[in-house]
Amino acid sequence: MQVWINGNAVEVDSEMTILQAAGKAGVQIPTLCHLEGVHEMGVCRICVVEVKGSRNLLPACITKVREGMEILTHTARVRRARRTVLELMLSDHPNECLSCGKGSACELQQLARELNITDRRFEGSYSKRIIDDGTPSLVRDSGKCILCRRCPTVCSQIQGVSAIAPIDRGFKTVIAPAWKESLINSPCVLCGQCAAVCPTGAIMEKNDSQKVWNALSDPGYHVVVQAAPAVRVAIGEMFGMEPGTPATGKMVTALKRLGFDRVFDTNFSADLTIMEEGNELLQRIREGGKLPMITSCSPGWINYIEYFFPDLLEHLSTCKSPQQMFGAVIKTYYADKMALDPEKIFTVSVMPCTAKKYESQRPEMASSGYRDVDAVLTTRELGTMLKEAGIDLAACPDGEFDEPFGPGTGAGAIFGNTGGVMEAALRTVYELVTGKPLDRLEFNEVRGLKGIKETRVKLCDMELSAAVIHGLSNVRPVLEEIREGRSPYQFIEVMCCPGGCIGGGGQPFSRDKDVRAKRMQGLYKEDESLPIRKSHENPAVRKLYEEFLIEPLGHKSHELLHTSYKSRR
């Protein structure tokens, strides 16, 4: 059909919104609350346009086109209304841009520039400011909240958690857990998806960079760092690189320049996880253990099941996540090997995740007698630290991960994608069971952004039925099935965040709707580029078993690499 945008005829699809139609016509309409495909509520009213025949201005983001519609996007009336709406928002927003952690990533600030706002027209009272820093992962500052409502939408629609919702009315409206409690007393899983979509600094990860700076500048500490696979395909975004560009080598150099004594690859412990988890699965299948077995490397997911489905905790693999396994190995095996006092080793991990901060602080994550992981940085925090230190990641030469753990395998790398753990596990389990090498390493059915993916793999005389789920709202029906005893699967991979870790709550902010797909491709590329692509072939892992752990699921493994769960109800 045809519509008229600012007097120009545009051919559009009947399902399009005015915003999309305008985009097609090359007309930019400012938006703020809108997140295509995720949050389409039309609440901020920044995108209003004039439509002939309509008494009021209409929100372009949710108003569908009609045949012959005459749309005016930048008339004096529209610009005045938009300015007023934005000026109103600014009138209830603290004047703290200079010291706000969100910095220039703030969409409100960007919009104020775009609309050429140069003063604060409305003066008035500020709504009550509640700062919730009760969790180790996230800090919520209602003073900076513009009530775009992206966070409750993501929390309820994408994650199915509904920990936060609008409370109270009018000027007193606030997004908060029930009874305006702290997140720590809510069902919040700390996935940080709210922080990832927040246009302002109202929800941010709890900043741990100072802790890391302190360790780095303390000569008494041996400071090591591990970096998760999803980090390397995203951190470049903060330095002007295209999303998904693998920046592994540059990142290693940058971390070394930052002052870490050793830089390790979490891919190593991902491989280690596969060794333990793959064997655990086989053991459960062979010995009649609890099935289906569900992966346990995503800490947001662990929080979810502990809160919402505590009766199903036995289905979880007892494996610690790669982050925690690595920490435990560093404080024991590595300390021994390097003749270091574990007390004096400070382990840092760089994660795409906010829930990892919480995970690292769980009391049980210290089975070596020392905290497995001392500090967790999100990808964003690392990027900010590099900038503070004047390190341009994009300009860094490639470096290599330090021994004794080396670079890890392709199987470890794809851990960052939804389906990656499954694929890595299948590569190993298949060969462990059949004793034959796989013809093709790629398991395409478990790749991609579909919410629930399934696969069946023939392993000698048995067929393994598996599912891959990401985004917690997709988990509920599968768990209900398990609860009712009708689950068709033996093995399920669950990743808390949509897309897996590459879409984690600690990743660089992006409004690029294809950002997840690009990062995923980056990891698959990384996998392909690596000489070793199966976890059980990782020489460092083999060496670890030979020198220290003896065998998967062995006594030491049990002590250091496995854990248990409890109901959070």
Active site residues: 277, 280, 297, 317, 356, 359, 364, 501
* Binding segment (CB under 8 A) for another protein, from list 56-64, 207-215, 256-264, 457-465: 56-64
With contact defined as beta carbons under 8 Å apart, do 91 and 123 qualify? Answer: yes
Q: Closest approach of Cβ 362 to another protein, in Å?
A: 34
Binding status of residue 19 toward another protein by CB under 8 A: no
CA 240 → CA 4, 107, 287, 507, 512, distances in Å? 37, 18, 52, 14, 14
Burial classification of residue 242, based on how many CB atoms lie within 10 Å of its CB (0-12 exposed, 13-18 middle, 19 or more buried): exposed
For another protein, the closer of residues 41 and 530 by Cβ is 41
Report the DSSP beta bridge partners of residue 452.
469
For another protein, the closer of residues 64 and 483 by Cβ is 64
Q: Which of 75, 96, 122, 444 binds another protein (CB under 8 A)?
A: 122
Q: Closest approach of Cβ 82 to another protein, in Å?
A: 8
User: x/- string (CB under 8 A) for another protein, residues 74-93?
Assistant: ---x--xx--xx--xx-xx-
Q: Closest approach of Cβ 32 to another protein, in Å?
A: 9
With contact defined as beta carbons under 8 Å apart, do 48 and 81 qualify? Answer: yes
Q: Closest approach of Cβ 186 to another protein, in Å?
A: 17
Q: Closest approach of Cβ 497 to another protein, in Å?
A: 26
Q: Closest approach of Cβ 13 to another protein, in Å?
A: 18
Binding status of residue 57 toward another protein by CB under 8 A: yes
Binding status of residue 125 toward another protein by CB under 8 A: yes
Identify residues 496-515 at the interface with another protein (CB under 8 A).
none
For another protein, the closer of residues 12 and 44 by Cβ is 44
DSSP 324: H
Binding status of residue 171 toward another protein by CB under 8 A: yes
Binding status of residue 119 toward another protein by CB under 8 A: no
Q: Closest approach of Cβ 352 to another protein, in Å?
A: 32
For another protein, the closer of residues 147 and 472 by Cβ is 147
Binding status of residue 51 toward another protein by CB under 8 A: no
Binding status of residue 168 toward another protein by CB under 8 A: yes
Q: What are phi and psi of 562, to 5 degrees?
A: -115, 160
Binding status of residue 124 toward another protein by CB under 8 A: yes
For another protein, the closer of residues 11 and 171 by Cβ is 171
Q: In this structure, what token pair is assigned to residue 357?
A: 């901060």
Binding status of residue 555 toward another protein by CB under 8 A: no
Q: Are strands 462-470 and 452-459 parallel, antiparallel or unpaired?
A: antiparallel
Q: Which of 6, 110, 162, 173 binds another protein (CB under 8 A)?
A: 173
Taking residue 547's Cβ as centre, other Cβ atoms within 10 Å add up to 12
Taking residue 279's Cβ as centre, other Cβ atoms within 10 Å add up to 20
Q: What are phi and psi of 316, to 5 degrees?
A: -70, 140
In whole angstroms, give the CA distance from residue 558 to residue 465. 26
Instruction: List the 2-5 sheet strands across, edge first.
Output: 8-11, 2-5, 70-72, 48-51, 58-59
Q: In this structure, what token pair is assigned to residue 145?
A: 């909240």
Taking residue 557's Cβ as centre, other Cβ atoms within 10 Å add up to 23
CA 33 → CA 16, 218, 292, distances in Å? 18, 44, 40
**Dihedral, CA of residue 153, residue 157, residue 159 and residue 162, to nearest 10:** 60
Q: Closest approach of Cβ 123 to another protein, in Å?
A: 8
Q: What are phi and psi of 239, to 5 degrees?
A: -125, 30
* Binding segment (CB under 8 A) for another protein, from list 39-47, 179-187, 339-347, 532-540: 39-47
Whose CA is closest to 269, among 221, 317, 232, 229? Answer: 229
* Binding segment (CB under 8 A) for another protein, from list 163-171, 486-494, 523-531, 540-548: 163-171
Identify residues 258-287 at the interface with another protein (CB under 8 A).
none
For another protein, the closer of residues 91 and 384 by Cβ is 91
- Between CA 522 and CA 318, with CA 448 as vertex, the angle to 5 degrees is 90
For another protein, the closer of residues 146 and 502 by Cβ is 146
**Dihedral, CA of residue 194, residue 196, residue 201 and residue 204, to nearest 10:** 80
In whole angstroms, give the CA distance from residue 245 to residue 520. 10
In whole angstroms, give the CA distance from residue 92 to residue 111. 16
Stated as kind and residue range, the H or E segment containing 297 is none
For another protein, the closer of residues 68 and 488 by Cβ is 68
Binding status of residue 45 toward another protein by CB under 8 A: yes
H helices of 92-208, in order, are 107-114, 150-153, 193-197
Identify residues 138-157 at the interface with another protein (CB under 8 A).
146-147, 149
Report the DSSP beta bridge partners of residue 273.
none
DSSP 549: I
Binding status of residue 34 toward another protein by CB under 8 A: no
Binding status of residue 166 toward another protein by CB under 8 A: yes
Q: Which of 7, 26, 53, 170 binds another protein (CB under 8 A)?
A: 170
For another protein, the closer of residues 51 and 335 by Cβ is 51
Q: Closest approach of Cβ 152 to another protein, in Å?
A: 10
Residues of the shown chain interacting with another protein in the complex, contacts defined by CB under 8 A: 42-46, 48, 56-57, 59, 62-64, 77, 80-81, 84-85, 88-89, 91-92, 122, 124-125, 146-147, 149, 165-166, 168-173
